Amino acid sequence: MIAIGIDIGGMSIKGAAVDSNGRVYETFSMPCEKGEPGEITIRKLAEIVKDYISTFGLEDKIVGIGIGCPGTLDVKNGVVEYSNNLGWNNLPIAALMNEVLSYPIRLTNDANAAALGEAKYGAGEEYNNIIMLTLGTGVGGGIIIDGKLYEGNLGKGGELGHTVVQVDGEQCTCGRKGCLEAYASATALIRETKKAMFNNEQSLMWNICPDIDMVGGKVSFEAAKQGDEAAIEVLNNYIKYLGEGILNYCNIFRPEAIVLSGGVANAGDYLFSRLNQYVRDRNYGYKMTPEVKILPAELGYDSGKIGAAALFFK
Amino acid sequence: MIAIGIDIGGMSIKGAAVDSNGRVYETFSMPCEKGEPGEITIRKLAEIVKDYISTFGLEDKIVGIGIGCPGTLDVKNGVVEYSNNLGWNNLPIAALMNEVLSYPIRLTNDANAAALGEAKYGAGEEYNNIIMLTLGTGVGGGIIIDGKLYEGNLGKGGELGHTVVQVDGEQCTCGRKGCLEAYASATALIRETKKAMFNNEQSLMWNICPDIDMVGGKVSFEAAKQGDEAAIEVLNNYIKYLGEGILNYCNIFRPEAIVLSGGVANAGDYLFSRLNQYVRDRNYGYKMTPEVKILPAELGYDSGKIGAAALFFK
């Protein structure tokens, strides 16, 4: 069984044919030009997909086209209601695609698509119930229950970054204060790294990144591995908030695993060993409650495409 | 279709036959004596259930016996691993019941049972996806997805009170700090009511309850309705924390409704109008995200029995 999986991002749209073993065929890609009306972008996409399908002679093999897209979606009707990053408003993606392509179209949130991909073919492959958290500009999430994506009423659930862990805390982009996103995103880590650098002129972090405007999510990790105290403090605090958020999801879902993706999740053992320890030490209900494994994602940038296609696989 | 539903509490065990329309037949009850070995309590219970079934001639009609019980459970094997309130440790309830009764036994957490009862036959009857929060001594919870109870790995999920909303906040009974339970339980409301009374000697709350040791969850509501400022402040703060917890569950699950049960949920319109407003004002994703109704539970003390029986109904 083969489906087309498409991952819409702020800079580009990427897609590929994906089979039900999670194998990704040749990838196509087009820029997502800021300012271009969404109708035009999607009509271009539809033509590219049509050409792709005919080039590879897949006309009779494709069971559908799955699309992962950021923003507020009407998944039932295949409409992007609002996407700040893309500048799209009430864009009927499914209808526009169907002007050119007669396959069924399924739309889901980009974080949901990535979670489904990781759950079925990546880090969560062995498990039926996983939670994925994407630690990037924001904190996205996906809920997989019994191997299937849980999206909530009208597809509006799974906003796992927008759960308050600190009432009256840091301002979040969603309007509330103290969301997990405001503490566990790469953006939050960079904010705290910069603060620590300003307060510690002798920190190794200045050697690693002399230009404060260029500070990224890796600076604190690199300095901490070399024993820099300011960096260690930044990361201890980051791990504490992320750990508390993860513990919350453990107690709510008691999944078999929690998969972390996004830039920060590439930090490797420094992050995962401490995070696993933090969560293990605070596991609810003594030793009788099963541990939840915290794992890095495995599929990288393919997860969105694979998961979008997997909307058509059992 | 008829099942026996049993609700085990710290003071007594209550049960009844329940049919698949949610109708509750005559209730039986026995004390749950603190200090009595669990084996003896459950063997007594089994004899009572056996008598009950034969008294009403239900032998051939019963499809199973559902049991809701507090504590840490092994739901798969029907074992109470640990219950602090009951003083039970590794008590094989299902096996003990099956010494006398040959029906299938299903065990679940007491809050889960109540949630399932409300979901299928009470406040959540019209909906497929609901979250229930029980605001009592602690904060319990239940997750209903597609009309079915979601219990998590080995039945250890659904601990909705044990999610941190205030990192480094009030000490919770679970070991962590700042859990929703530590702010939204009746215990927390009473703690804050007492604090406010000590700090406000002129508060009406002293007239309503002159003995500070007798302060319950209703004192602040009664005083607030009469305009007492100290009481209003206690409740504004209570509603804020409960509201933030509810918003978290809205963003995670986007259920159709959130049902509140337990003593505090009897506070009526004063609580529900403010709580609905609090949540509506902070609804994620502008107007495009469906509102989540916050409703009081309807089944009272029957919810646990009905839900335990409903473990056997589709």
> Which pLDDT tens digit goes with each residue over B35-89?
899 999 999 999 999 999 999 999 999 999 999 999 889 999 999 998 887 889 9
Q: What is the CATH number of domain A126-298?
A: 3.30.420.40
Indicate which of A133, A139, A254, A283 best probes the interface with B, i.e. most B CBs within 10 Å of its own CB: A254
Q: Does B262 have pLDDT greater than 70? A: yes
- Inter-chain CB proximity A248 and B286 less than 8 Å: no
Helix (H, G, I), strand (E, B), or coil: what is residue B80?
strand
Q: How far is B112 from chain A (nearest CA, A)?
A: 12
Q: Which residue of B has its CA nearest to A143?
A: B252
> Which pLDDT tens digit goes with each residue over A242-269?
999 999 999 999 999 999 999 999 999 9
Mean pLDDT in residue range B229-235: 98
Indicate which of A76, A163, A179 best probes the interface with B, i.e. most B CBs within 10 Å of its own CB: A163
> Which pLDDT tens digit goes with each residue over B19-34?
999 999 999 999 988 8
Q: How far is B125 from chain A (nearest CA, A)?
A: 16
pLDDT of residue A72: 87
- Inter-chain CB proximity A152 and B248 less than 8 Å: no
- Inter-chain CB proximity A165 and B165 less than 8 Å: yes
Q: How far is A41 from chain B (nearest CA, A)?
A: 23
Mean pLDDT in residue range B8-12: 90
Nearest to A150 among B145, B241, B282 (CB): B145
Give residue limits of the domains in chain A. Answer: 2-119+302-310, 126-298
> Which pLDDT tens digit goes with each residue over A195-214?
999 999 999 999 999 999 99
Q: Are B9 and B297 in contact (CB under 8 A)?
A: no
Indicate which of A143, A282, A288, A291 best probes the interface with B, i.e. most B CBs within 10 Å of its own CB: A288
Under-50 pLDDT residues of chain A = none
Beta-strand relationship, A88-91 and A105-109 = unpaired
Q: How far is A223 from chain B (nearest CA, A)?
A: 26
Task: State how far the Cα of A124 lies from the Cα of A118, in Å rounded to an integer.
Answer: 6
Residue A291 CB neighbours (<10 A): 14
Is the pTM higher than 0.90? The answer reads: yes
Q: Which residue of A has its CA nearest to B141?
A: A252
CATH superfamily of domain region B127-296: ATPase, nucleotide binding domain (3.30.420.40)
pLDDT of residue B251: 95
Share of chain B above pLDDT 70, in %: 99
Terminal alpha carbon distance of chain B: 10
- In CATH terms, is domain B2-118+302-310 a member of 3.40.50.410? no
Q: Which residue of A has its CA nearest to B150?
A: A253
User: Same topology for domains B2-118+302-310 and B127-296, yes or no?
Assistant: yes
For residue B286, name the pLDDT band (cuts at 50, 70, 90). low
Residue B43 CB neighbours (<10 A): 15
Distance of CA A166 to the CA centre of its chain: 22
Nearest to A284 among B162, B247, B289 (CB): B162
Where do the H-state alpha helices sit in chain A? Answer: 38-55, 93-98, 110-121, 181-184, 186-199, 205-208, 219-225, 229-253, 269-281, 303-310
- Inter-chain CB proximity A145 and B143 less than 8 Å: no
User: Which residues in chain A touch residue B286, judged by CB atoms under 8 angstroms apart?
Assistant: 72, 82
pLDDT of residue A265: 95
Residue A187 CB neighbours (<10 A): 17
Sign of CA pseudo-dihedral A258, A264, A268, A271: negative
- Inter-chain CB proximity B157 and A282 less than 8 Å: no
Q: How far is B52 from chain A (nearest CA, A)?
A: 34
- Inter-chain CB proximity A256 and B153 less than 8 Å: yes
Q: How far is A163 from chain B (nearest CA, A)?
A: 5
Indicate which of B83, B244, B293 best probes the interface with A, i.e. most A CBs within 10 Å of its own CB: B244
- In CATH terms, is domain A2-119+302-310 a member of 3.30.420.40? yes
Q: Does B208 have pLDDT greater than 90? A: yes
